[in-house]
Amino acid sequence: MKRIVIIESIPGPVASIYEKATRMVIGSYYSQVAEEVVSNLKAGTILDLGTGPGYLPIEIVKRSLYIRVDGIDLGSRLIKMAKENALKAGVADRLKFETGNAARLGFENGSYDMVISTGMLHMVRDPIQVLRECYDVLKPGGEAWIYDPAQVSAQIDKRKWKASFTFGEKIIYGLFILYAKINPPHIYSRKQVTEMIAATNFKEYQIEEAGKEIKVKLKKQKSLC
């Protein structure tokens, strides 16, 4: 089914429901992705696109004192949550969260050792532009790891999650389910992602399918001459 409307950002009222779900998979999903990231990069700066409530950056910096992560998201409510979560976890000094659009980053070219993103690609209006931005902000030899969709809903205990909803959240959840039925999220296939990459300057890449999740690893060439 074709998407009728594209809502890129998680709307403010849905943010608290989403945050409750992500909190339930810190140990099973974000910790595991953080381990993978830290095994690739021991020290440096990472940019997390569509950071949501910030649990992935938090798990990463907990695992290495030599890594700093900047996280951006279109949703200001989520960015506020990410800042609060970083303070609660005691790692706010190595994290920076800001509202921003992954398709218009505005950072200096070659600023980051790595770009990561979980669960954002299927939500963005212009995924090719996002991949081009990843290329620009990476240092030569840097890698962008784009995982999509994030394995959040597949891993949570849905009964426990729904039982935590307030009355208002139950109504919002009902509306959200209705919206998703009329306008289902578009999950990209390997072929579609390959075509997107071909429209960028990335020459080296790897695409892995793990269940419903697609893991795209892109590398910027070391020498650009």
Ligand X SMILES: C[S@@+](CC[C@H](N)C(=O)[O-])C[C@H]1O[C@@H](n2cnc3c(N)ncnc32)[C@H](O)[C@@H]1O
Contact residues toward ligand X (CB under 6 A) are: 8-10, 22, 49-52, 56, 72-75, 78, 101-103, 118-120, 123-124, 150
Cis peptide before 140 (omega within 30 of 0): no
Closer residue to ligand X in complex, CB, 101/200? 101
Rounded to the nearest angstrom, the gap between the alpha carbon of residue 92 and the centroid of all alpha carbons in its chain is 19
Could you tell me the smallest distance in angstroms from the CB atom of residue 147 to ligand X?
Answer: 8
Closer residue to ligand X in complex, CB, 28/221? 28
Residue 213 forms beta bridges with which residues?
210
Closer residue to ligand X in complex, CB, 142/149? 149
* 139-152: burial string, b at 16+ Cβ within 10 Å, e else: beebbbbbbbbbbb
**What is the rounded radius of gyration, in angstroms, for the C-alpha atoms of the chain?**
17
Could you tell me the smallest distance in angstroms from the CB atom of residue 224 to ligand X?
Answer: 26
Closer residue to ligand X in complex, CB, 147/202? 147
Query: For residue 64, with 0-12 CB atoms within 10 Å meaning exposed, 13-18 middle and 19 or more buried, which class applies?
Result: middle
Could you tell me the smallest distance in angstroms from the CB atom of residue 123 to ligand X?
Answer: 4
Could you tell me the smallest distance in angstroms from the CB atom of residue 225 to ligand X?
Answer: 32
